[in-house]
């Protein structure tokens, strides 16, 4: 089975950070590296991962309150309706020999 390394560029996407929190990215495209046989498989793997991360994010936001510890409304809460859907805007073959 031959595996290739692809760079998938995604717009309108929040990446999870290592501490478990989601942070808004202000760059134009967020990179995701995918190991796949071809472009189609890379697209499907990236799409599946994006959907899983969005579900996790929505579950996390449901558990968050809308008030700060002092009782004021939180300014960092962004309505899910206001956020555009993530879009894959590019897939590039990075390397056709991947050893792992």
Tens of pLDDT, residues 35-84: 999 999 999 999 999 999 888 877 766 666 666 667 676 666 555 555 67
Q: Residue 8: inside a domain, yes or no?
A: yes
- Number of domains into which the chain is organized: 1
Q: Residue 29: inside a domain, yes or no?
A: yes
Residue 57 zone, left/alpha/beta (φ > 0; ψ -120 to 50; rest) = alpha
Q: Residue 100: inside a domain, yes or no?
A: no
Domain region containing 91: 4-95
Q: Residue 12: inside a domain, yes or no?
A: yes
pLDDT reading at 20 higher than 60: no
Predicted pLDDT of residue 54: 86
Helix (H, G, I), strand (E, B) or coil at 85: coil
Q: Distance between CA atoms of 32 and 22, rounded to whole angstroms?
A: 15
Q: Distance between CA atoms of 18 and 56, rounded to whole angstroms?
A: 14
Q: Residue 48: inside a domain, yes or no?
A: yes
Q: Residue 67: inside a domain, yes or no?
A: yes
The share of the chain scoring above pLDDT 70, in percent, equals: 61
């Amino acid at each position: 089975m031959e595996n290739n390394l692809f760079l998938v560029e995604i717009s309108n996407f929040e990446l999870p950070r290592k501490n478990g929190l989601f942070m808004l990215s202000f760059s134009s495209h967020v990179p995701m590296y995918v190991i796949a046989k071809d472009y189609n498989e890379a697209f499907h793997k990236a799409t599946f991962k994006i959907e899983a991360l969005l579900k996790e994010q929505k579950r996390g936001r449901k558990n968050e309150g809308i008030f700060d510890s002092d009782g004021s409304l939180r300014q960092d809460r962004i309505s899910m309706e206001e956020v555009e859907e993530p879009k894959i805007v590019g897939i590039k073959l990075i390397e056709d020999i991947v050893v792992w």
